[in-house]
């Protein structure tokens, strides 16, 4: 992205989507995003590796879901296009599948739309996931996804950008309720169970950004699954080789705090 911002975008307010892009080594970010990103990295240098590991985990999660016969995906808080995007993994395995991305950031939506070559299979919707009724009735969502059949809803590295006052447990339940039996919810979420002081310092930094960084304890992250059945090995506390699906034979990395900084899991609607 050039330093000239598109209309309606304030390049001076650090933006969570563009900071994430910066952490991933992308180019869709402005100086304000990089400056705050550098402050985050000064406290939690592991963030760069953590974001990359999250992306790798998304690939594993989506492959698992394809293997279960899932052909419909709703990716909420999808982020700027990166390597190995969900639709690329999905369509690579299941060519007749459908993927709808939702993000509330206009820059993300514009970049996403520019990349999507197959409107019969993939759509990018500009929308706020905190309003499930709107998302689930959106014409572009309805055009591609049939909610009478199983759908996989992805909420990867997004719910920790939603503060308590936005009632994330309430609106996540609304998505769960709208799904047919055999549907899945997959999520990854930064935790404050480890490195608590450093993680909370990052929350302070994000007050300058357009999103509130709200890491949660594992127990609260697990509650997002409601009565969905967790797929073994369950809610996994780890990233990288310790991310979902946890490989018990893999030795713990030297920095155990880093490995434990996020949780991820997949739940299935009974
Ligand atoms: C950290 S990125 C994660 C991207 C991707 N899911 C991943 O795990 O790589 C979070 C994304 O959620 C988006 N986002 C934040 N709040 C949102 C909301 N209320 N509704 C939809 N998207 C939101 C941001 O714009 C950003 O692109």
Q: Beta 152-156 vs 122-126: how paired, if at all?
A: unpaired
CA 4 / ligand 1 centre spacing (Å): 22
The atom number, within ligand 1, closest to the CA of 157 reads 8
According to the model, what pLDDT value does residue 249 have? 62
According to the model, what pLDDT value does residue 116 have? 81
The atom number, within ligand 1, closest to the CA of 166 reads 19
According to the model, what pLDDT value does residue 254 have? 56
Check if 263 has its Cβ closer than 6 Å to any atom of ligand 1. Answer: no
Between CA 34 and CA 48 the distance in angstroms is 13
Using the structure block, give the residue that is written with the tokens 């299979």: 121
Q: Where exactly are the structural domains of the chain?
A: 16-245+254-268
According to the model, what pLDDT value does residue 112 have? 87
pLDDT tens string, the chain, 270 residues long: the values are: 546 777 778 899 999 999 999 999 999 899 999 999 999 999 988 888 888 888 988 999 999 999 999 999 999 999 988 878 999 999 999 999 999 999 999 889 988 888 887 889 999 999 999 999 999 999 999 999 999 999 999 999 999 999 999 999 999 999 999 999 999 999 999 999 988 899 999 999 999 999 899 999 999 999 999 999 999 989 998 876 667 776 666 655 656 777 788 999 999 999
Check if 112 has its Cβ closer than 6 Å to any atom of ligand 1. Answer: no
According to the model, what pLDDT value does residue 248 have? 62
Which residues are registered as beta bridge partners of 103? 126
pTM for the full model?
A: 0.94
Which residues are registered as beta bridge partners of 153? 74, 185
Count, in order, helices (H) and strands (E) of the chain. Answer: 11, 8
Using the structure block, give the residue that is written with the tokens 């293997």: 67
According to the model, what pLDDT value does residue 118 have? 83
CA 16 / ligand 1 centre spacing (Å): 8
Between CA 168 and CA 179 the distance in angstroms is 17
Give the residue whose CA is nearest to atom 12 of ligand 1.
77
Other CB atoms within 10 A of residue 218 CB: 18
How many residues would you count in the chain?
270
According to the model, what pLDDT value does residue 224 have? 98
Check if 187 has its Cβ closer than 6 Å to any atom of ligand 1. Answer: no
Cβ(247)–Cβ(165) below 8 Å: no
Check if 97 has its Cβ closer than 6 Å to any atom of ligand 1. Answer: no
According to the model, what pLDDT value does residue 101 have? 96
The atom number, within ligand 1, closest to the CA of 58 reads 8
Among 3.40.50.720, 3.40.50.300, 2.60.40.3620, 3.40.50.150, what is the CATH number of 16-245+254-268?
Answer: 3.40.50.150
**Within 13 Å of residue 40, how many CA atoms lie on the same side as its CB?**
28
Check if 86 has its Cβ closer than 6 Å to any atom of ligand 1. Answer: no
Q: Is 65 exposed, middle or buried (0-12, 13-18, 19+ CB in 10 A)?
A: buried
Question: Distances from the Cα of 190 to the Cαs of 30, 184, 185, 205, 230, in angstroms?
Answer: 24, 20, 17, 15, 18
Between CA 123 and CA 145 the distance in angstroms is 10
Check if 158 has its Cβ closer than 6 Å to any atom of ligand 1. Answer: yes
């Amino acid at each position: 992205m050039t330093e000239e911002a598109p209309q309606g975008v304030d390049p001076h307010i650090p933006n969570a989507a563009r900071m994430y892009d910066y952490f991933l080594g992308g180019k869709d970010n402005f100086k304000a995003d990089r400056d705050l990103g550098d402050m985050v990295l000064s406290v939690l240098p592991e963030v760069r590796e953590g974001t990359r590991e999250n992306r790798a985990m998304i690939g594993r999660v989506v492959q698992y879901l394809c293997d279960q016969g899932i052909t419909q995906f709703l990716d909420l808080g999808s982020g700027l296009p990166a390597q190995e995007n969900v639709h690329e993994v999905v369509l690579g395995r299941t060519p007749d599948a459908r993927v709808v991305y939702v993000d509330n950031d206009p820059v993300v939506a514009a970049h996403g739309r520019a990349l999507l070559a197959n409107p019969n299979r993939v759509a990018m919707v500009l929308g706020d996931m905190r309003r499930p009724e709107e998302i689930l009735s959106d014409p572009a969502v309805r055009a591609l996804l049939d909610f009478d059949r199983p759908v996989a809803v992805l909420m990867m590295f997004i719910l920790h950008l939603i503060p308590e006052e936005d009632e994330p447990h309430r609106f996540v339940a609304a998505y769960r309720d709208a799904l047919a039996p055999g549907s899945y919810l997959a999520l990854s979420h930064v935790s404050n169970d480890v490195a608590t002081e450093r993680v909370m310092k990052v929350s302070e930094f994000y007050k300058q950004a357009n999103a509130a960084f709200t890491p949660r304890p594992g127990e609260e992250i697990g509650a997002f699954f409601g009565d969905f059945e967790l797929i073994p090995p369950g809610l996994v506390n780890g990233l990288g080789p310790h991310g979902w699906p946890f490989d018990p034979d893999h030795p713990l990395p030297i920095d155990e705090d880093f490995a434990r900084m996020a949780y991820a899991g997949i739940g299935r609607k009974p």
